[in-house]
């Protein structure tokens, strides 16, 4: 069943407003203030906490295979992890992961 067009636009507007309020709470209200050291220390780990949660489902349950894990994606994930730990930089890890995935999928 498809919802009425007005319902869709109300949902889109509500999601947009919620996103704006969330971003404004950090940038608008806290943007010009000096934050305590403990807050800054915790904010450094935001990307480290979020990125694995976004990537893990794609590696472990890829839509391309119907949700079944496959060797090329698992190997590419391990390569990204190993290169990232070894170098401490994201770009070499991404390049190595893409190369490993390309090689794995071409075999």
pLDDT digits (tens, 9 = 90+) for 41-81: 998 888 888 888 888 898 999 988 899 999 999 999 999 99
CA 30 from chain centre, in angstroms, equals 24
Most confident option among 1-10, 20-29, 94-103: 94-103
| pLDDT for the residue numbered 10 | 95
Residue 31 DSSP symbol: T
What distances in angstroms separate CA 64 from CA 18, 51, 68, 81, 104, one per listed residue? 32, 20, 9, 22, 14
pLDDT above 90: percentage of residues in the chain:
55
């Amino acid at each position: 069943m498809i919802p009425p067009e007005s319902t869709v636009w109300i949902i889109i507007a509500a999601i947009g407003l919620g996103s704006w309020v969330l971003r404004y709470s950090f940038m608008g209200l806290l943007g010009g203030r000096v934050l305590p050291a403990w807050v800054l220390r915790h904010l450094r780990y935001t990307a480290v906490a979020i990125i694995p949660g976004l990537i893990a489902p794609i590696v472990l349950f890829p839509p391309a295979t119907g949700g079944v894990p496959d060797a090329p994606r698992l190997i590419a994930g391990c390569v990204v992890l190993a290169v990232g730990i070894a170098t401490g930089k994201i770009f070499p890890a991404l390049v190595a992961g893409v190369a490993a995935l390309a090689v794995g999928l071409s075999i």
